[in-house]
Amino acid sequence: MSYVKKIHDLHIVRTCSQDFARVAAESFLGALKDCDTPSPLVTLPTGHTPLGMYEELRTHHANNKALWNRIRYLALDEYADLKPDDPRLFQNWLDRELLTPLSINQDRRTGFRSDAADPEAETRRIEIWLDQNGPIDIAVLGLGTNGHIGFNEPGAVFNHVANLIALSSETRQANAAYWSGLDHVPEKAYTLGLKPILDARKIFLLVSGAHKSAILDKVMNGPITQDIPASMLRTVPNVTVIADKDALEITHG
């Protein structure tokens, strides 16, 4: 495919499930310390996968406040058409889980406005912001069972910077568990596109659980295709996959 200039091996860090969160947190902190930008720009996922890592980071914060005071945060994705106080908003979820506990104040946070009246202007606003404030120093990603990263669903276009997209039924089903039923899962969402994610200086893909094993195998060993957006990670050199044994069951046996 024309957009694939070179194929890179993904660096795999295999952990047992008990160590997954600690290893993910230590890897992220190591990348942060190696970062030579004065205010590293990070983007972080919501979902079940990073919860243990965030607990580790909250503990770390208690003794390392100076490190966290430098960080700028950019939202990876966000449900669309929700009011600012809606608990389903990813910005509110991450605020509770990480950003407030880590004292990453509002002036160091940038994200999509879910209730923006003009979605096109909203994605453009994020594009302009990234142009002036990027690139992302560290992108931490989860993996959808359909291969999405952020909310770049199967078929996502490679060179988009920010998008409003229709969520796939698989993603809505997966998210239904968090919001007591499918009816509560929005149908549309904003997402950083694949371009700023792949342009990040360092990328971590976190994958845990046997239910991710089949898709992780495709991401690592299948064709590089927009039908599996995470397979595009093999087009850049700086990706570390942190995966537990269950997630690597098919690939490594």
Based on the residue annotation, tell me whether 95 is a catalytic residue of this protein: no
Select the span of 127-135, 136-144, 232-240, 243-251 touching ligand PGA (CB under 6 A).
136-144
Q: How far apart are CA 123 and CA 150, in angstroms?
A: 15
- Report which residue's Cβ sits closest to ligand PGA: 47
Select the span of 16-24, 64-72, 121-129, 142-150 touching ligand PGA (CB under 6 A).
142-150
Q: Under a CB-based contact definition with an 8 Å cutoff, are residues 219 and 228 in contact?
A: yes
The three-state secondary structure class of 153 is: coil
97-to-44, 47, 67, 217, 230 alpha-carbon distances in Å: 11, 11, 18, 30, 25
Q: What is the identity of the amino acid at 198? A: L
Selected catalytic residue, list 78, 153, 163, 244? 153
Q: Does 196 participate in binding ligand PGA (rule CB under 6 A)?
A: no
Q: Does 186 participate in binding ligand PGA (rule CB under 6 A)?
A: no
Based on the residue annotation, tell me whether 56 is a catalytic residue of this protein: no
Selected catalytic residue, list 77, 78, 97, 137? 77
Smallest distance from ligand PGA to CB 81, Å? 19
Based on the residue annotation, tell me whether 148 is a catalytic residue of this protein: yes
Cβ atoms within 10 A of the Cβ of 158, count? 17
Nearest to ligand PGA of 67, 214 (CB atom): 214
Selected catalytic residue, list 78, 97, 127, 146? 146
Select the span of 9-17, 18-26, 40-48, 190-198 touching ligand PGA (CB under 6 A).
40-48
Q: How far apart are CA 13 and CA 220, in angstroms?
A: 13
Smallest distance from ligand PGA to CB 136, Å? 17
Determine the Cα angle at 79 with ends 78 and 81, to 5°: 125
Nearest to ligand PGA of 114, 175 (CB atom): 175
Beta bridge partners of 131: none
Smallest distance from ligand PGA to CB 165, Å? 13
The set of residues, in sequence order, having a beta carbon less than 8 Å from that of 177 and lying 6+ positions away, is none
Burial bucket for residue 104 (CB in 10 Å: 0-12, 13-18, 19+): buried
Q: Does 154 participate in binding ligand PGA (rule CB under 6 A)?
A: no
Q: Does 142 participate in binding ligand PGA (rule CB under 6 A)?
A: yes
Based on the residue annotation, tell me whether 221 is a catalytic residue of this protein: no
Q: 42-71: which residues touch ligand PGA (CB under 6 A)? A: 45, 47-49
Q: Under a CB-based contact definition with an 8 Å cutoff, are residues 103 and 71 in contact?
A: no
Picking from 128, 188, 195, the residue whose alpha carbon sits closest to that of residue 156 is 195
Before 135, cis peptide (omega within 30)? yes
Residues lying near ligand PGA in the complex (CB under 6 A) = 45, 47-49, 142-144
Give the residue numbers annotated as catalytic, written as ranges: 77, 146, 148, 153
